[in-house]
Amino acid sequence: MLENLISSENILAVEKLLAEKNRVVILSHKNPDGDAVGSSLALCHYLRGRGKEAVVVLPNAFPDFLAWLPASDAVVLYDNETERAKEAIEAAELFFCLDFNTLSRIGEASEPVAAVDAPKVLVDHHPFPSDEFGVEISHPVACSTSELVYRLVCRLSGDEAVTFEMAQCIYTGMMTDTGAFAYASARKDIYLIIAALLAKGIDKDLIYRKVFYNYSLSRMRLTGYVLNEKLKVYNKHNAALLTLEHGELMRFYAVKGDTEGLVNMPLQIRGVRFSCFLREEMPGKINVSLRSVDDFPCNEVAAQFFNGGGHKNASGGELHCSMDEAVKLFSKALQKFNKQLTE
């Protein structure tokens, strides 16, 4: 039996909102990953099953290897379909905010969302949520937001409300946010949920292949280039750095998702506890991905040096500067956190 992670007060609050509201917009963060997309689509399936007019609005595109998820073609991308997205947002009677803890994480969509006087329900597993949400279902102990969506649906309507399509989405989110259950997945409840999802008929091995064995040849060549030419190990800090400039991404015809997971690879090197990936998505704009093992708090590094945040072992940020300046910031971070990295 699962622990009742979500409070009865929050369950009652969500049920009351669903009884009163019909037009629902589900939101998730910029550069959506497997958990953002999986949790959003799962909740969308559930709400539509309850007769709601539900739509998922994402700030920008998600990786190609998630395009197989049921109803992924119904997602509205704010950057490409701005007017359609704004129309949905302005008509919303209720928002579900998934896998982010402050509205700034949804980019340009944050302003129109904040302007709409409609309740906002947070469902998230990142620490330190802002006070912008009327109902906070915030549990950093959860392995993923998809886990929380499963718990929410079951508390609202029972496990029988979880369809095969929802189970596929939820499992994908849980799997991708734990590195195929290699980290942040030691709690027994996670495996009780997996068992329940398997009972819905999902093929977990097929889902794994669709997500992790679905890369292009150019992505494989990019990976080889990054590891051979762009990896730097800082032995005295137990850290590693990967960098990719915009021109290099173009050289390998990189598309959304082609750099997914690269930041984890240096952690396979003996002694490396902290990995940073600086990726210049466009000239002067650098996305920062941080990963760590053990108790090293890469979210503190993200907050202090990279305008970001996240989990203790998985965080990110964004810089508006040159790659040289970003690398210098990384070097400063290593000096600041050297004691924690080497103790």
Which of 181, 204, 135, 173 lies closest to 36 in space, CA to CA? 173
Q: Is 75 a residue whose pLDDT tops 90?
A: yes
pLDDT at 73 over 90: no
Q: Where are the domains of the chain?
A: 8-211, 217-342
Multiple choice CATH, 8-211, 3.90.1640.10, 1.10.10.10, 4.10.110.10, 1.20.1340.10: 3.90.1640.10
- pLDDT bucket at 310, cuts 50 / 70 / 90: confident
Q: Is the pLDDT of residue 230 over 90?
A: yes
- The DSSP H or E segment spanning 285 is strand 285-292
Give me the pLDDT at residue 183, please: 86
Overall CATH class of domain 217-342: alpha beta
Nearest to 305 by CA among 294, 318, 323, 295: 318
Quick check: 43 and 26 in contact, CB under 8 A? yes
- Enumerate residues 6+ apart whose C-beta is below 8 A from 111: none
Q: Are 151 and 5 in contact (CB under 8 A)?
A: yes
- Residue 117: CB atoms within 10 A of its CB come to 5
* DSSP β-ladder status, 53-58 and 76-77: parallel
Distance CA 164, CA 337 (A): 45
Mean pLDDT within 46-54: 97
Residue 288: per-residue pLDDT: 97
- pLDDT tens, position by position, 99-133: 999 999 999 999 999 999 999 999 999 999 999 99
Q: Rounded distance, CA 287 to CA 238, Å? A: 22
Q: What is the pLDDT of residue 194?
A: 98
